[in-house]
Amino acid sequence: MLPFARVTIIGLGLIGSSVARAVRTQMPTVRLTGHDGDPEVLATADRLQLCDDIADSAGTAVIDADFVILCVPVGAMAAVAEAIRADLPADAIVSDVGSCKEEVARVLVEELPGAIIVPAHPVAGTERSGPEAGFATLFQGRWCIVTPIAGMPEAATERVCEFWRRLGANIDLMAPDHHDRVLAVTSHLPHLIAYTIVGTASDLEEVTQSEVIKYSAGGFRDFTRIAASDPTMWRDVFLSNREAVLDMLQRFSEDLSQLQRAIRWGKGDELFDLFTRTRAVRRSIIEQGQDDPAPDFGRAHE
Ligand code: NAP
């Protein structure tokens, strides 16, 4: 049996539109309703026929739903929760896809007293945003981390897990604070490093902009993919997961200083040992199906 019959998606950008497309493919009998705060996104969603119904307000969108999934930036969760509060059916389950879980869970519980809430985070995405960037297979073989809130019905958690399984995801259950520490190191810190290095290179005075672009295949261009990610989404992530990110950043700065010393004092063995360990990490990611084994990220070479 399908976990839900009437699904409402609020926020029809990369993730929301991918959920819509995946539901269409994997659970075609589900009645899909969508809403987005941006009229242009609504018009695009309508043109692409992402949902059965497009609602012009968040409240109208949830009136008949048995599952409501919030796919807006983390900083917009409170406003959306407030906007659906009066119209949310008592037995509907509310979830989200936000990249930070502790603050989002707190905000949803505060804004939706008495509602059944099961936060989740599909660890899948690209550097693009908007409804045209989504695709139905985005969650296939990726992990979705579900972070249940104490006191909420277990059956609701199981239905949300089943929803994501149907979209092709593997499920892990985690405490929200643990999720935020894990993602701080696997996602948030890498984004911060990429934003920094791309910013630094574009501010350098002794290397021209055209040289930075021309010689980017030396490694720089791989950072620019991550640094092209949506500014609103990532501003909200760093503000929401502040403590965990600052902790990981402290640890990273210490490790960077150690590398700096190794280079200064010519400690080649230290560098070699680290680079050997990091190469093994890449191998494990490929072995576990979390990236393509093709060299150079599968870029075509003549
Ligand atoms: P996106 O492509 O920018 O889509 C977000 C959509 O939400 C936009 O159309 C935005 O409209 C709309 N929105 C913003 N505030 C709203 C409001 N108050 N009411 C209704 N709609 C509103 O972003 P995304 O990449 O799909 O990210 C959505 C969520 O998924 C975020 O919480 C993010 O942390 C999480 N996530 C992202 C990724 C990723 O790789 N991108 C991966 C996993 C999880 P505007 O045009 O007005 O901004």
Closest protein CA for atom 42 of ligand 1: 125
Q: How many domains does the chain have?
A: 2
**What spacing in Å lies between the alpha carbon of 98 and ligand 1's midpoint?**
9
Report which ligand 1 atom has the smallest distance to the Cα of 96. Answer: 32
Q: What are the pocket residues of ligand 1 if the criterion is a CB atom closer than 6 Å to any ligand atom?
A: 10-16, 36-38, 41, 71-74, 76, 79-80, 97-99, 121-122, 125, 129-130, 230, 233, 237
Q: Is 205's pLDDT higher than 80?
A: no
Q: Is 249's pLDDT higher than 80?
A: yes
Report which ligand 1 atom has the smallest distance to the Cα of 38. Answer: 47
- pTM score, two decimals? 0.95
* pLDDT in the model for residue 209: 82
* pLDDT in the model for residue 203: 87
**What spacing in Å lies between the alpha carbon of 11 and ligand 1's midpoint?**
6
Same domain, 146 and 19: yes
* pLDDT in the model for residue 295: 84
Higher pLDDT, 293 or 15: 15
Task: Identify the domain containing residue 64 by its residue range.
Answer: 6-174
Confirm whether 223 is domain-assigned. yes
Residues 97 and 15: beta-carbon distance below 8 Å: yes
Q: Which of 120, 147, 174 is the last residue of a domain?
A: 174
**What spacing in Å lies between the alpha carbon of 284 and ligand 1's midpoint?**
31
pLDDT band at 11 (very low <50, low <70, confident <90, very high): very high
| CB count in 10 Å sphere of residue 268 | 10
Q: Which of 174, 200, 232 is the last residue of a domain?
A: 174
Mean per-residue pLDDT, 146-170: 98
Mean per-residue pLDDT, 192-199: 95
Mean per-residue pLDDT, 96-113: 98
Residues ≥6 apart with Cβ < 8 Å to 42: 12, 34, 35, 36, 54, 56
User: CATH no. for residue 93?
Assistant: 3.40.50.720
Residues 75 and 240: beta-carbon distance below 8 Å: yes
Same domain, 50 and 147: yes
Q: Which of 133, 156, 174 is the last residue of a domain?
A: 174
SS3 content of the chain, % helix, strand, coil (to 5): 55, 10, 30
Query: pLDDT tens digits, residue range 223-238?
Result: 999 999 999 999 999 9
Same domain, 170 and 199: no
Chain-wide mean pLDDT for the chain? 96
